[in-house]
Amino acid sequence: MKVAGTPYRSIRPDPDSAGVFVIDQRWLPHEFRVVRLGSLDEVALAITDMWIRGAPLIGATAAYGLAIAMASDPSDAALEAAYSRLARTRPTAINLLWALNDLRQRLQPLAPSARRDAAYARAAEIADEDVEINRRIGENGLPLIRKLAEAKGGKRVNILTHCNAGWLATVDWGTATSPIYQAFDAGIDLHVWVDETRPRNQGASLTAWELAGHGVPHTLIADNAGGHLMQQGEVDMVIVGTDRVTANGDVANKIGTYLKALAAADNGVPFHVALPSPTIDWSVERGADIPIEERSGREVSHVWGRTDDGALAAVRISPEATPLGNPAFDVTPARLVTSFITERGVCPASRDGLRSLFG
Ligand code: MRU
């Protein structure tokens, strides 16, 4: 997608040496900063501290992280150490382990001298594949939006999304946003309700910034407004991303997704999940077994932003002694999900639905 007219991907390799460039998303929407990650430590920190985030981008960044590690030490021991280090960075998005397992399996049989180049090549492939997967998710999701527009006689379609499952969360296009961008580009009149997504506000900071960059009409709302808007008939569909889908079709995504799914079910609003296949975890049967990341309470007690005098600052919003809890993801049971929009088509959110597309 474009930033001020220039096409960007959220991650790109450093052509001159062993490194990778990413957008440091902590500064958005206030500043657009591109940083170079040049060591395993830097890549691990960038994932843990959410300079980069979003399940598919976490996977692509981890793949480059392993490549960077191989550039400085391609030994068996270094491969295992880098794998373990990166695997610990964030627990919920399965794309991380998917990418690390993919690379490790390819690198282990190779001579150490061949590992650096092979790792870079595979990381680049994973990034390219992600772009194509997301483009196809958009193609497959577009007819769902078109159908709603037709049913409304061409009147504006209102879509609600949660967190950021946009191009910043992937290598390009986004998952949940890809059908939106493609429908908008096809001339369908649409508008997006953007949940702020407390506590880190990825909706307010990232999704709102992205949609504005592409000219897509949108309105930022407090997380708690979604149910009310559904009752008022102001939401025609919900599309969210996901960090992990289990074999039975349960969906882990950013905290608050489950409440939106409950409200959607109560109001007869279709609730779609944009699902790239690397986000399916066939090894876990049901959502209750997905590890849910517990993040720092500071994300709850403080809000980060630009003050009226132009400074970037974190301000405390709760008493200093208040105990804090911060589960970062929740699980939406498959029964609340209308369909999965995948790169291979749209399917019911169930074991059979997933098998019908992915065998
Ligand atoms: O904690 P984050 O910002 O990494 O969480 C991101 C989300 O929950 C996204 O909705 C999810 O990763 C899907 S990204 C295409």
Q: Does ligand 1 lie within 6 Å of residue 53's CB atom?
A: yes
Q: Is the pLDDT of residue 44 over 90?
A: yes
Given a cut of 80, whether residue 305 has pLDDT beyond it is: yes
CB atoms within 10 A of CB 89: 21
Could you read off the pLDDT of 266-299 as tens digits, one per residue? 999 999 999 999 999 999 999 999 999 999 999 9
Active site residue 243: yes
Answer positive or negative: Cα dihedral of 216, 217, 223, 228.
negative
Q: Exposure pattern of 149-185 as b/e (b: 16+ CB <10 Å)?
A: beeeeeeebbbbbbbbbbbbbbbbbbbbbbbbbbbbe
Which of the residues 102, 223, 236, 243 is marked catalytic? 243
Mean pLDDT, residues 310-323 taken together: 97
Query: What's the mean pLDDT in 136-146?
Result: 98
- Give the whole-angstrom CA distance, residue 135 versus residue 183: 12
Q: Is the CB of 163 under 6 A from ligand 1?
A: yes
* 160, 243, 300, best to mutate for ligand 1 pocket (most atoms within 8 Å of CB): 243
Rounded to whole angstroms, how far apart are CA atoms 36 and 19? 7
Q: Which pLDDT tens digit goes with each residue over 160-177?
A: 999 999 999 999 999 999
Give me ligand 1 centre to Cα 169, in Å.
Answer: 6
Mean residue pLDDT of the chain comes to: 97
Taking alpha carbons only, the member of 25, 56, 51 closest to residue 242 is 56
Mean pLDDT in residue range 82-91: 98
pLDDT over 90 at 17, yes or no: no
CB atoms within 10 A of CB 276: 27
Q: Is 202 in the pocket of ligand 1 (CB under 6 A)?
A: yes
Query: What's the pLDDT band for 181 if we cut at 50, 70, 90?
Result: very high
pLDDT band at 16 (very low <50, low <70, confident <90, very high): confident
Give mean pLDDT, residues 38-44: 98
Which atom number of ligand 1 is nearest to the Cα of residue 58?
4
Closest CA to 20 of 56, 50, 62, 48: 62
* Contacts of 174 by beta carbon, 8 Å cutoff, 6+ apart: 134, 164, 165, 166, 167, 168, 181, 210, 241, 274
Mutational pocket test of ligand 1: of 254, 290, 292, 329, the residue with most ligand atoms within 8 Å of the beta carbon: 254
Backbone φ, ψ for residue 239 (5° rounding): -130, 125
Q: Give the relative orientation of helices 76-87 and 55-72 as an angle to the nearest 10 degrees.
A: 150
The answer to whether 198 touches 330, Cβ cutoff 8 Å, is no
Query: Is 169's C-beta closer than 6 angstroms to any atom of ligand 1?
Result: yes
Decide whether any atom of ligand 1 lies within 6 Å of the 244 Cβ. no
Q: Out of 18-22, 73-77, 133-137, 287-291, which region has the weakest mean confidence (pLDDT)?
A: 18-22
How confident is the model over 319-341, as a mean pLDDT? 98
Q: What is the pLDDT of residue 249?
A: 98
| Span 201-228, pLDDT tens digits | 999 999 999 999 999 999 999 999 999 9
Per domain, the residue ranges of the chain are: 2-129, 138-358
- What is the 358 CA–ligand 1 centroid distance (Å)? 23
| Percentage of the chain modeled with pLDDT above 90 | 96
Q: Is the pLDDT of residue 321 over 90?
A: yes
Query: 344 by DSSP, 3-state: which?
Result: coil
- Span from the CA of 76 to the centroid of ligand 1 (angstroms): 32
CATH class of 2-129: mainly alpha
For the chain, the first-to-last Cα distance in angstroms comes to 32
User: Which pLDDT score is estimated for 18?
Assistant: 83
Q: Write out pLDDT tens, residues 92-113.
A: 999 999 999 999 999 999 999 9
Nearest-angstrom CA–CA distance, 112 and 49: 30
* H-state helical runs in 91-169: 95-107, 112-151
Handedness of CA 239, 245, 250, 254 (dihedral sign): negative
CB neighbour burial string for 3-41, b if at least 16 within 10 angstroms, e if fewer:
eeeeebbbbbbeeeebbbbbbbbbebbeeeeebebbebe
Alpha helices, DSSP H, located in 278-324? 298-301
User: Does 253 sit in the ligand 1 pocket, CB within 6 Å?
Assistant: yes
Q: Identity (one letter) of the amino acid at 152?
A: K
Interval 323-347 mean pLDDT: 98
Answer whether 170 contacts ligand 1 (Cβ < 6 A): yes
To the question of pTM greater than 0.95 for the whole model, the response is: yes
- The average pLDDT across 131-139 equals 98
Per-residue pLDDT, 1: 87
Rg (CA), the chain: 20
Structure tokens at 167: 């191009």
Q: Which two tokens stand for residue 10?
A: 């959220």
Helix axes 40-48, 55-72, angle to 10 degrees: 160
Nearest-atom number in ligand 1 for the CA of 202 is 3
Per DSSP, the three-state class of 337 is coil
Q: What is the pLDDT of residue 2?
A: 84
Select 138-358's CATH number: 3.40.630.30, 3.40.120.10, 1.20.58.220, 3.40.50.10470: 3.40.50.10470
Per-residue model confidence (pLDDT) at position 240: 99
